Amino acid sequence: MRKFFSFKELGFLLVIVLLGGSPLYASKEKTDCPGVKTVSGLLHQLSSQEVQVLSVRPSPVKGLCEVVVQQNGRKGVTYVDLTGKFLVLGRLIEISTKKDLTGARIQELNKIVLSPEKIKELRKYVAFSAGQGPEIFLITDPDCPFCRKAEDILWPLVQKKKIRVNVVFFPLDRLHPEAHRKAVALICEKKGFEDLVAGYSGNATCPEGENKVTQGQKFLLSLGIRGTPTYIFPSGETHSGVLPAERLLEMVKK
C-alpha cells in the first residue's frame, strides 16, 4: 500500500535541490519562513504537475520550514530552508525516540474521522464479521501483502474475543487484478474472516457480492480512503497502515 505522499509524482529527482547560490544557513539572522506564494513559485519551477501549497511553517528542525502540499486530494510534506533557496526531500526522524516525524505529520494531515451516519452507511458493505467486543472496520484487499499482516495481527484478538472485526473489501484493481474476483467469491460462498486469513481463493459470483464490492469501493473513495489496510475505529477515526495489537486495543477504547 502507498501510505504516504509520493514526491516522485511531482517530478522531483534530487534529495536536495539547489535553487540559488547561497549556503543553507547563510542568513543566520533570518527566522521567518518563506510565504506560501514564494514556495508555490519554487515548486512550480520543479514540476509541471499541479501542486497546491497549503501552508508553510517552522519545522521541528531549526532552519527548516515545513511545507504542506496537496495533489490529487492527498496531502504531503516537504521542507525548504529559511532563505527559500533549498528544497529538502525526505523524512525527519527523531533519533532519541526513533519516531518518524514526517510520517506522523502526513498521517495527521490525511486523517479522516467518519460521522455516525457514514459508519451506518458503511455497514451496508460489510462482507462478514468475526469476534466479540469493541468493533473495528477493516478495509482490506485479498491480495494486499500489508493487509495480510494486519489480518494476522487481528485474528488472535478475534479468537480471544477482545475485538470484533467487520471486513469491508476494497480491491486495489490496478495493483491486484485478481483481488476483485476473490473478494466477490468470499461473499458469495458465505466465507468468513478465518477463510480470508487462510488465503481462500474462489470463483463464485452473485449479485450481492458484486454489489458489496463495487459499491463499497465507490463509497470508500467518496470518504477519501485510497489504500489498504485501513482501520475505522468506534470513534470514527481512521488509520491507514498496519498497527500492532497493543495500539489496536488502545484505539478501540477511545
Range of the domain at 190: 116-251
Say whether both 158 and 58 belong to one domain.
Answer: no
Say whether both 105 and 120 belong to one domain.
Answer: no
pLDDT of residue 23: 34
- Residue 1 pLDDT class (50, 70, 90 cuts): very low
Number of domains in the chain: 2
Q: What percent of the chain has pLDDT over 70?
A: 87
- Residue 30 pLDDT class (50, 70, 90 cuts): low
pLDDT for 165-179, tens place per residue?
Answer: 999 999 999 899 999
Say whether both 95 and 122 belong to one domain.
Answer: no
Say whether both 51 and 33 belong to one domain.
Answer: yes
Say whether both 235 and 139 belong to one domain.
Answer: yes
Q: With 90 as the cut, is the pLDDT of residue 212 above it?
A: yes
Say whether both 147 and 206 belong to one domain.
Answer: yes
- Min mean pLDDT across 7-21, 182-196, 201-215, 236-250 is at 7-21
Which of 109, 131, 163 is the last residue in one of the domains?
109
Q: With 70 as the cut, is the pLDDT of residue 9 above it?
A: no
- Residue 31 pLDDT class (50, 70, 90 cuts): low
Say whether both 105 and 12 belong to one domain.
Answer: yes
Say whether both 89 and 130 belong to one domain.
Answer: no
Residue 75 lies in a domain: yes
- What would the mean pLDDT of 92-120 be, rounded to a whole number? 88
CATH code of residue 121: 3.40.30.10
- What would the mean pLDDT of 41-68 be, rounded to a whole number? 87
- What would the mean pLDDT of 78-104 be, rounded to a whole number? 89
Q: With 50 as the cut, is the pLDDT of residue 238 above it?
A: yes
Residue 1 lies in a domain: no
Residue 175 lies in a domain: yes
Taking the C-alpha atoms of residue 17 and residue 12, their distance in angstroms, rounded to an integer, is 9
- Pick from 25, 90, 79, 82: which is nearest to 53 by CA? 79
Say whether both 243 and 189 belong to one domain.
Answer: yes
User: What average pLDDT does the chain have?
Assistant: 85
pLDDT of residue 18: 31
pLDDT of residue 28: 45
Kindly report the pTM of this predicted structure.
0.70
pLDDT of residue 180: 96
pLDDT of residue 21: 30
Which of 93, 109, 125 is the last residue in one of the domains?
109
**Side-chain-side CA neighbours of residue 125 (13 Å):** 24
Residue 128 lies in a domain: yes
What are phi and psi for residue 78, nearest 5 degrees?
-135, -175
Which of 65, 87, 109 is the last residue in one of the domains?
109
Say whether both 64 and 103 belong to one domain.
Answer: yes
* More confident call, 188 vs 85: 188
Say whether both 12 and 50 belong to one domain.
Answer: yes
Residue 163 lies in a domain: yes
- What would the mean pLDDT of 31-57 be, rounded to a whole number? 86
CB 3 within 8 A of CB 228: no
Residue 2 lies in a domain: no
Say whether both 241 and 125 belong to one domain.
Answer: yes
